[in-house]
């Protein structure tokens, strides 16, 4: 049987310096893979271009590309609705990588309806770990490491340094981290907060909570890769105080830079701890406390391997694994169309 060489419309625009590294590395891996052609997102390409399969990551980013003006948002929502009509009429297979298990909480009613429409059209889901539950067909393709991405100069670890990096959003619990750290009695410990806040109100809250404690350094804004490397490697322990965590690229970023992580006690993190080896993943249950921070730091100081085992997360086979999913989704849709007597 002749192999299908699909043309894939991906939901991200052409990668730039500020693009999520996962997206950039996956786009590069796909473009190195024989037998697949990648088209990055634009509304002209989506509405009028030729493609065989759509691959979504965070579909809400398509809806949010209209800026803050209401007129711009309405235009984008209208264009997205037209895209959904096209996908429905043409029965184009939709593949979705399930980075998050729930719809975003901060979307409008109209956005929610459009996102639910994307969900109904999804014919194959890619999950990043075996714990993600969603309707089938489902394929697990593990999130790759960042060892080849974060290559900037490393800092020597500073004794007692704790660090949070990444986007600052409500569900990530950074406010709770600052409050818990302020209760830490050990004056030799320091805490860094670095990353862009999702709202100015959240930024103001974190800055206010940190005021008056000279041990806390707050840097709220875009964090270039080299600055992220410097911040993470300066830490003895990276602290991710999420109220909810399912998949986290930041955990893998810290591990790729050979730094241990304190993260919520979840089944996914327990699996990751077993995968990478002892001493790298430390967990807390419930709300983060000063006691949990001090206990994790003490444990992180115990002997461990020089680097975590990330051999299961190489990028070499990511392109082929995704191509297999695209072909399966396309073959299944064509078979369904033939059975229904619909031209393909």
Output the pLDDT for position 344. 58
Question: Does residue 189 contact residue 160 with C-beta atoms inside 8 Å?
Answer: yes
pLDDT at 342: 65
Question: Residue 57's pLDDT is what?
Answer: 95
Cis peptide before 171 (omega within 30 of 0): no
**What number of residues does the chain have?**
344
pLDDT at 66: 45
Report angle CA 290, 294, 296 to the nearest 5 degrees.
115
Strand runs labelled E in 266-343: 281-284
Specify the pLDDT at position 253: 96
- Write down the pLDDT at residue 73: 84
10-residue averages of pLDDT along the chain (344 residues): 82 90 94 95 97 95 70 90 97 94 79 94 95 92 94 96 95 96 96 95 96 96 94 98 90 98 96 97 96 97 97 88 96 77 63
The tokens describing 195, both together, are 């990353």
Question: Which residue, among 12, 21, 23, 13, has the nearest Cα to 250 in the 3D structure?
Answer: 21
Show the domains of the chain with their CATH numbers. 7-144+314-340 (3.40.50), 161-311 (3.40.50.2000)
Task: State the pLDDT at residue 333.
Answer: 83
The whole-model pTM stands at 0.86
Beta bridge partners of 164: 193
């Amino acid at each position: 049987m002749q192999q299908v060489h699909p043309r894939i419309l991906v939901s991200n625009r052409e990668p730039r310096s500020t693009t999520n590294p996962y997206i950039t590395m996956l786009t590069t891996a796909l473009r190195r893979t024989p037998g697949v052609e990648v088209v990055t997102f634009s509304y002209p390409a989506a509405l009028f271009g030729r493609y065989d399969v759509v691959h979504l990551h965070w579909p809400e980013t398509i809806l949010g590309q209209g800026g803050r003006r209401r007129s711009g948002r309405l235009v984008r929502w209208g264009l997205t609705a037209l895209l959904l009509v096209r996908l429905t009429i043409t029965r184009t297979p939709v593949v979705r990588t399930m980075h998050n298990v729930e719809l975003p909480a901060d979307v409008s009613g109209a956005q929610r309806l459009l996102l639910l429409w994307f969900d109904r059209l999804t014919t194959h889901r890619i999950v990043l770990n075996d714990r993600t539950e969603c309707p089938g067909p489902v394929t697990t393709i593990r999130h790759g490491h960042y060892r080849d991405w974060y290559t900037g100069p490393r800092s020597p670890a500073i004794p007692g340094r704790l660090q949070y990096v990444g986007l600052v959003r409500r569900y990530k619990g950074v406010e709770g981290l600052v409050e818990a750290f302020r209760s830490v009695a050990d004056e030799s410990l320091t805490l860094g907060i670095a990353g862009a806040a999702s709202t100015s109100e959240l930024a103001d809250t974190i800055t206010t909570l940190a005021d008056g404690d000279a041990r806390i350094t707050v840097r709220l804004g875009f964090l270039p890769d080299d600055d992220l490397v410097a911040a993470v490697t300066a830490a003895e322990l990276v602290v991710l105080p999420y109220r909810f965590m399912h998949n986290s690229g930041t955990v893998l970023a810290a591990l790729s830079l050979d730094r241990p992580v304190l993260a919520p006690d979840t089944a996914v993190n327990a699996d990751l701890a077993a995968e990478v080896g002892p001493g790298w993943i430390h967990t807390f249950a419930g709300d983060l406390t000063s006691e949990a921070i001090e206990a994790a730091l003490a444990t992180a100081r115990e002997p461990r391997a020089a680097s975590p085992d990330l051999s299961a997360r190489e990028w070499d086979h990511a392109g082929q694994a995704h191509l297999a999913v695209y072909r399966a989704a396309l073959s299944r849709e064509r078979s369904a169309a033939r059975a229904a007597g619909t031209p393909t």
